[in-house]
């Protein structure tokens, strides 16, 4: 068995210290986090962690089960890259003089779907979204033209399956508090049950 890239998704209440506790679970197992993104989810009050790791599937299964044991965690699961739609955002800063003088650079940026977000006399900042390979290719293309600075965001991902945890969470929301609680058959019968 070989290590592969997995995206771990965790739906959770937004509680202080939870990110630290989850990160400790990875470090105890000596698993490096390649990418980490936290954001609100489609459901108010519920946050979503998107964590990218390279690991064996058996290790990931155990890790996800351990994460789910946290009180604030509603659901945790993992997916391969084939099971999700994902993107990253990148910003590239290049000298303005290069863009003005070298028409090739402008053509390359169009080819990679980049757009200018800041244009100054000394530099231009371009933005692009895509998968890591696409983003890295543009870095290698821009380096010879004097790439000043580069930054890439963490992964954002959505599961390809049309339904999932969202529907289950909506069901929980619809239920009245205590709707599924079954009364204890001995409630109010203390005298009968505890007589000697």
- What's the CATH number where 15 sits? 3.30.70.260
Does 181 fall in a domain? no
Q: Is residue 129 located within the same domain as residue 98?
A: yes
Q: Is residue 77 located within the same domain as residue 107?
A: no
Does 182 fall in a domain? no
What is the rounded CA–CA span in Å between residue 37 and residue 162?
A: 22
| DSSP E strand stretches across 20-132 | 33-40, 46-55, 73-80, 84-95, 115-119, 123-130
Residues 52-90 pLDDT 10s:
999 999 999 999 999 998 878 988 989 999 999 999 999
Percent of the chain with pLDDT over 90: 47
Q: What are 191's two structure tokens?
A: 């005298």
Q: Is residue 72 located within the same domain as residue 96?
A: no
* Helix, strand or coil, per DSSP, at residue 120: coil
pLDDT (0 to 100) of residue 170: 63
For residue 142, the surrounding DSSP H or E stretch is helix 132-142
Q: Quote the pTM value.
A: 0.76
Residues 85-117 pLDDT 10s:
999 999 999 998 887 777 677 787 888 889 889
- What's the CATH number where 130 sits? 3.30.70.1150
Tokens 């505890």 appear where?
194
* pLDDT over 70 at 189, yes or no: no
Residues 21-52 pLDDT 10s:
899 999 999 999 999 999 998 888 889 999 99
100 contacts: CB under 8 Å, gap ≥ 6: none
Does 102 fall in a domain? yes
pLDDT (0 to 100) of residue 173: 55
Contact call for residues 27 and 72 (beta carbons, < 8 A): no
Q: Is residue 92 located within the same domain as residue 55?
A: no
Q: Is residue 77 located within the same domain as residue 170?
A: yes
CB atoms near residue 188 (< 10 Å): 9
Report the chain's mean pLDDT, rounded to a whole number: 83
Task: Name the residue range of residue 121's domain.
Answer: 87-152
């Amino acid at each position: 068995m070989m290590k592969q890239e997995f995206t771990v998704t965790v739906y959770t209440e937004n509680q202080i210290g939870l990110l630290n506790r989850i990160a400790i679970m990875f470090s105890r197992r000596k698993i490096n986090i390649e990418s980490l993104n936290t954001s609100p989810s489609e459901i108010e009050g519920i946050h979503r962690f998107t964590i990218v790791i390279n690991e064996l599937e058996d290790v990931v299964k155990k890790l996800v089960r351990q994460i789910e044991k946290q009180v604030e965690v509603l659901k945790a699961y993992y997916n391969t890259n084939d099971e999700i739609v994902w993107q990253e955002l990148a910003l590239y800063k290049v000298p303005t003089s290069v863009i003005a003088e070298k028409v090739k650079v402008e053509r390359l940026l169009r080819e990679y779907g980049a757009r200018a977000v800041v244009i100054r006399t000394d530099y231009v900042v371009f933005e692009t979204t895509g998968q890591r390979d696409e983003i890295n290719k543009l870095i290698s293309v821009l380096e010879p033209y004097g790439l000043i600075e580069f930054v890439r965001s963490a992964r954002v991902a959505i599961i390809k399956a049309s339904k999932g945890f969202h529907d289950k969470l909506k069901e929980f929301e619809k239920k009245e508090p205590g709707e599924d609680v079954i009364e204890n058959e001995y409630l109010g019968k203390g005298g009968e049950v505890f007589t000697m």
